[in-house]
A and B are shown apart, each in its own frame.
Chain A
Amino acid sequence: RKEVEQDPGPFNVPEGATVAFNCTYSNSASQSFFWYRQDCRKEPKLLMSVYSSGNEDGRFTAQLNRASQYISLLIRDSKLSDSATYLCVVNLNTGGFKTIFGAGTRLFVKA
């Protein structure tokens, strides 16, 4: 089982749609959580950190459920510019620092 698993993609949605991505992690020692965005042939960039209380940034909402070891990202009112790959990222600190990236979920937003 992969340490961080994401929804298989790609997701194809029309402009204005709401889309949700899910991510599960296997190590209960996971300490911090992030969503990164990666455009085609570009480097990953931080989209948002994920906090236990949930957090929102404009059209984006991230949620964390530690009991179920589950992270989600909700995008409302999708824009063409949201088309990208979304990476779920988990940091562990189990005597040594470790960052684990999910394989990513590809999103296509169409006009």
Chain B
Amino acid sequence: NAGVTQTPKFRVLKTGQSMTLLCAQDMNHEYMYWYRQDPGMGLRLIHYSVGEGTTAKGEVPDGYNVSRLKKQNFLLGLESAAPSQTSVYFCASSYSPSSGRGNEQFFGPGTRLTVL
């Protein structure tokens, strides 16, 4: 099992450019999450999904959009990148908290994004 994978690993954008980050998991998890991590701030939830076709806003959703067309994939889009979106982005997945199988989150290796 590959677990949680993310592409790309690194990216440099210019202000105003758009991009999509792809997350894939092969653990049949219902829940998927996108976080950003900034120095001294800890991980902050951007958006999450509790199942295929559903998404919800997290703590810092502005400037980002997401889609979950397939259970195993969760896409994060930046329509018009800004320097404030320079960060490390982590995708994670877990079973539903009500599943009885524990709700440990498994993380991907991260994407380092720089917006100039």
A-B pair number, CB within 8 angstroms: 44
B107: interface (CB < 8 Å): yes
CA distance A104 to B37 in the complex (A): 11
Point out the residues of chain A lying under 8 angstroms from B50, CB to CB: 97
Q: Mark A92-108, 1 if CB is under 8 A from B, else 0.
A: 01001111011110000
Please give me the residue from chain A that is nearest to B112 by CB atom: A41
A42 touches B109 (CB 8 A): yes
B102 touches A49 (CB 8 A): yes
Q: Report the contact-size class of chain B (Cβ under 8 Å from the partner).
A: 20 to 34
Q: How many Å from the CB of B47 to the closest CB on chain A?
A: 12
Please give me the residue from chain B that is nearest to A96 by CB atom: B56
B104 touches A46 (CB 8 A): yes
CA distance A4 to B44 in the complex (A): 12
Please give me the residue from chain B that is nearest to A3 by CB atom: B59
Q: 5 closest A-B pairs (Cβ-Cβ)?
A: A43-B107, A103-B42, A101-B43, A101-B42, A46-B104
Q: Mark B27-48, 1 if CB is under 8 A from A, else 0.
A: 0000101010000111111001
Point out the residues of chain A lying under 8 angstroms from B41, CB to CB: 103
